Amino acid sequence: MTQTPPSPSVKGWCPGAYRPMMSGDGLVVRVRPVLARLTRDQVFGLCDTALAFGSGLIDLTSRSNLQIRGVTEGNHQAVLDRLQDIGLLPDDPILEGRRNILIAPMLSKGDNTTRLATDLMARLGDLPELPAKMGYAIDTDIAPQFTQNSADFRFERTATGDLILRADGMSRGRAVTVDTAIDALIEMADWFVATGGRENRRMARHTMLTTLPADWQAVLPAAPAQPLKPGQTALGAVFGVAFGQIEATALKTLMTATAAKALRVTPWRLFLMEGAEMAETAAFITTATDPLLTTDACPGAPLCAIATVETREIARSLAGQFTGPLHVSGCAKGCARPRACATTLVGRDGAFDLVRNGTPWDQPTETDLTPDSLVKALGTH
Ligand code: SF4
C-alpha cells in the first residue's frame, strides 16, 4: 500500500545574504533589491558576482528576491563585499533580514508606493521582532496585485483609491493615510506580538484564532488587478523566467541588447526592463501564452540535496502538453508551489508519484512512474 508522503516541514528562519542556505549546489545567497529595483550597473555587478563566485545561476524568487546559487563557503565573504560595493546590501544583518517587502512594480519616483516603501525601510528598526518569514506588501497601485503572494501586512487601495492596511487572512482592512500608514503598521505588529502571534508564526493563522480590533477589519480593498504578463508596458518590456532560474550571461546579454536603464523584480517570475522595447530572446519568456508561465518545478537533482529526480527538463518537456497548470516537485515538500495544482508530479526514490488536483504531500493516484511512463499516465496529447 502506498504511504502518504509527509507534509512539508517549515524552517524557522528565512535565508538572507548574511545567513545563506546550503543547497545541493552550494550556498544560496539571497539579495533583496531595495524598492524591488536594480540599476543597470547593479544588474551587471550581480551577474558578474554570480559568474565569479557562484554557478552563474540566479533565482528570481516568489518574494521578488534574487539568489546567487552555487557559492562556496570560502567565497561567501567575497560575495558580501561585492554586493556591498554595488549597493545591494545597504543595511546591517538584522535590518536586512527584516526587509521582506513586496513592492508594486509599476511605482514611479515620488509616488505613494515609493513613499510608503521608503518610510517602512526607514522604520524597520521600530518594529518588534517578528517570525523571520513574516513580510509586508506595499500593494498600492490602482488595485491589489499581490493577493496570491505571501505577505502578512498589506497596504492596498480601495475601489475609490483610499489607502488601507489589511492583516493577511482578513477580507477587510483599516483605513489609513500615507502619513499614518507606518505608525498603523507598527501598531498592528505590536498587537500581533502582544496577543501571542509569534506562537502562530504567520498573520493569517493568527487572525483565524484571535479577533482584530473592529476598525482594523472595516474597509474592503478593491478587486484584484489583472495579473502582469510578458509584453510591452509603458515603463518597459516585461520578460518571464522559466522556473525562476536566470542564467547570468543571458541576463547580461539582454541588458546590453535592450539598453535597459534598470531592472524591476516581481514575485511572479517576471521582470521588467525599464525603458526597454520587447526583444526576441530564447533565454526568457516573451509571450503571455507560453505554457512555461503556468509550469512550476523546483531545482530538483542535483541542485537540491534532498531530490532524487531531475525536475526542470522533465517539466519543460511536458509543459504545453496539457490544459491546466503543471507542478513537478523534487519531493513532497513542494517548494516551487506549496499549494494545490491540477497536475503534480512528486519525486520519490528516483521515480514520480502523480497527484491530481492536490498538493505534493497529498495521496497520489499513481506511483513509481518513470520519465517514459509519465506521458502515458498523464494522458498528454
Ligand atoms: S521540493 Fe524540490 S527544492 Fe524543495 S526540498 Fe524538495 S527537492 Fe528540494
Q: What is the CATH number of the domain that holds 26?
A: 3.90.480.10
Question: How many C-beta atoms lie closer than 10 Å to residue 138's C-beta?
Answer: 28
pLDDT for residue 48: 98
Grid coordinates representing 66? 534574487
Minimum-distance ligand 1 atom for the alpha carbon of 330: 7
Q: Of all protein residues, whose CA lies closest to atom 4 belonging to ligand 1?
A: 335
pLDDT for residue 372: 81
Minimum-distance ligand 1 atom for the alpha carbon of 331: 6
Closest C-alpha to 206, from 273, 130, 268: 130
Report helix, strand or coil for 93: helix
User: Are 302 and 284 part of one and the same domain?
Assistant: no
Chain-centroid distance of CA 190 in Å reads: 26
Write out residues in the chain with pLDDT < 70, as ranges: 1-14, 380-381
User: Are 337 and 265 part of one and the same domain?
Assistant: no
* CATH number (domain holding residue 338): 3.30.413.10
User: Are 26 and 76 part of one and the same domain?
Assistant: yes
User: Are 303 and 341 part of one and the same domain?
Assistant: yes
Minimum-distance ligand 1 atom for the alpha carbon of 305: 8
Q: Which residues contact 169 (CB under 8 A, 6 or more apart)?
A: 203, 204, 205, 206, 207, 208
User: Are 88 and 162 part of one and the same domain?
Assistant: no
pLDDT for residue 371: 79
Residue that finishes a domain, picked among 190, 217, 244: 217
pLDDT for residue 9: 36
Dist CA 255 CA 231 (whole Å)? 16
Q: Is residue 89 part of a domain?
A: yes
Which of 304, 327, 345 for a ligand 1 pocket mutation test, highest count of atoms within 8 Å of Cβ? 304
Dist CA 258 CA 260 (whole Å)? 5
Residue that finishes a domain, picked among 269, 289, 309: 289
Dist CA 152 CA 192 (whole Å)? 10
Check if the beta carbon of residue 200 is closer than 8 Å to that of residue 209.
yes
User: Are 284 and 297 part of one and the same domain?
Assistant: no
Q: Would the CB of 329 count as within 6 Å of ligand 1? A: yes
Q: Would the CB of 299 count as within 6 Å of ligand 1? A: yes
User: Are 203 and 256 part of one and the same domain?
Assistant: no
pLDDT for residue 374: 86
Can the peptide bond before residue 213 be classed as cis, meaning omega within 30 degrees of 0?
Answer: no
The length of the chain in residues reads: 381
pLDDT for residue 8: 35
User: Are 135 and 194 part of one and the same domain?
Assistant: yes
Q: Would the CB of 304 count as within 6 Å of ligand 1? A: yes
Q: Would the CB of 297 count as within 6 Å of ligand 1? A: no
Residue that finishes a domain, picked among 289, 308, 330: 289
User: Are 49 and 36 part of one and the same domain?
Assistant: yes
pLDDT for residue 375: 80
Q: Is residue 227 part of a domain?
A: no
Structural domain count of the chain: 3
**Phi, psi at 257, each rounded to 5°:** -65, -35
Which of 331, 348, 361 for a ligand 1 pocket mutation test, highest count of atoms within 8 Å of Cβ? 331
Q: Tell me the CA distances in angstroms from 140 to 27, 107, 144, 262, one per residue in order.
A: 34, 9, 7, 21
User: Are 284 and 296 part of one and the same domain?
Assistant: no
Check if the beta carbon of residue 240 is closer than 8 Å to that of residue 284.
yes
User: Are 79 and 19 part of one and the same domain?
Assistant: yes
Q: Which residue segment(s) compose the domain that 320 sits in?
A: 292-379
Q: Would the CB of 359 count as within 6 Å of ligand 1? A: no
Q: What is the whole-number distance in angstroms between the Cα of residue 335 and the centre of ligand 1?
A: 6
Q: Is residue 19 part of a domain?
A: yes
Q: Is residue 250 part of a domain?
A: yes
